[in-house]
Amino acid sequence: MEGRCVMRIEDDIKLDYCDVLIRPKRSILESRKDVELYRTFKFKNGKSWTGVPIVASNMDTIGTLEMGEVLSQFHMLTCLSKHIENYPDDDSYKNRNMALSFGMGEQDEHSLLSSDGALVTRSYAEHKPFFCLDVANGYSQRFIDFVKNVRDKWPDKILIAGNVVTSEMTEALLLAGADIIKIGIGPGSVCTTRKVAGVGFPQLSAVMECADAAHGLGGYIMADGGCQSPGDVSKAFGAGADFVMLGGLLAGHDECEGDVVDVDGEAYKRFYGMSSNTAMEKHSGGVATYRASEGKTVQVKYRGPVEDTIKQILGGVRSACTYTGARTLKQLPKCTTFVRVNRQLNTIFGNE
């Protein structure tokens, strides 16, 4: 194995969402209400899904059953946290807009692949078309084999797999049996992988390159991380993302896990990355001696019901479509021209 890796530099410019704006174009659309945000996706196993392809992240504080219930009312998808312990039996939670999440640990493999696996939830899983196979580093051969094995065991499921940021691994995971590849290493608001490991890829460029690779094979991608505002969601779709996964934009709401706490007279809720000390203390008894924490824990100002934030995000995407002449969300990439900028916001009165 030694000697196969050779250091080199790719000197072409890679961009994040903050490096660009979407150029407006002449349009015949008269109103934001004329924009259709619903998309119908058809997958290789014959399954299909119709909805607004904005997704709540499978983080502890975000991918809750309560979040799933609200997003489902907007026909949006929630990837439930894999650490949910008690799944309710009533029919209201068996909707098609929630995905079950799994890692690659011993318990996950047993639940998914063993003939006697106690899949949480086996009855609950039958009602969920989506499985999200989620690891921080999707570049291992073991993960490719894992995806293949899950596809063999569950041929009727729509498989989301990641995370990766390059075209060759997007292709490898699609060929292994995944339907949607999750794109993003390091762009999240509570992810510190770029700082701790020095590894990552600017998110806008990652989305563009991986979308091109996926669409050539009849697959899809889900941009995961890096959206700081509704405008970034529009940029992700404009760059070719089929789905956009959100964490920080949905943090701090009633539907998030955790209590509201008072800090110097202001209300906050806790939000943390899934590779943070907080998450590893909670689920693994601490940070293993062979690894470092690659996430942080923050207090986010309490924001009330998530419904208001969802409406703001959807309104922003509709506005981007009207500015570019895209009558449907699916048309947005074809109507998008990005312009590189040195500054995109006037912050004289703050960043709000």
Q: What is the DSSP string of 295-346?
A: B-EEEEEP-B-HHHHHHHHHHHHHHHHHHHT-SBGGGHHHH--EEE-S----
Q: What is the DSSP string of 212-271?
A: HHHHHTT-EEEEES---SHHHHHHHHHTT-SEEEESGGGTTBTTSSS--EEETTEEEEEE
* 191 included as an active-site residue: yes
Instruction: Compute CA distances 211 → 20, 167, 197, whole Å.
Output: 18, 8, 25
Cα–Cα distance, 170 to 211 (Å, whole number):
9
- Which tokens go with 131? 């499985």
Active-site pick, 79, 132, 191, 210: 191
Nearest Cα to Cα of residue 110 among 123, 100, 101, 120: 120
Q: What is the DSSP string of 131-143?
A: EEEE-S-TTSHHH
Query: Do the beta carbons of residue 103 and residue 135 sit within 8 Å?
Result: yes
Helices first, then strands: H and E counts in the chain: 11, 15
Residue 110: which residues within 8 A CB-CB, separation 6 or more?
A: 117, 118
Cα–Cα distance, 249 to 309 (Å, whole number):
8
Other C-beta atoms closer than 10 Å to the C-beta of 1 total: 4
The residues that bridge with 299 in the sheet, in sequence order, are 270
Q: What is the largest CA-CA distance in the chain?
A: 61
Consecutive H or E run containing 281: helix 277-284
The residues that bridge with 162 in the sheet, in sequence order, are 134, 182
- Which tokens go with 235? 């940029």
Packing angle, helices 141-153 and 106-113, rounded to 10: 30
337 backbone dihedrals φ, ψ, rounded to 5° = -120, 125
Q: Which residues form the catalytic set?
A: 191
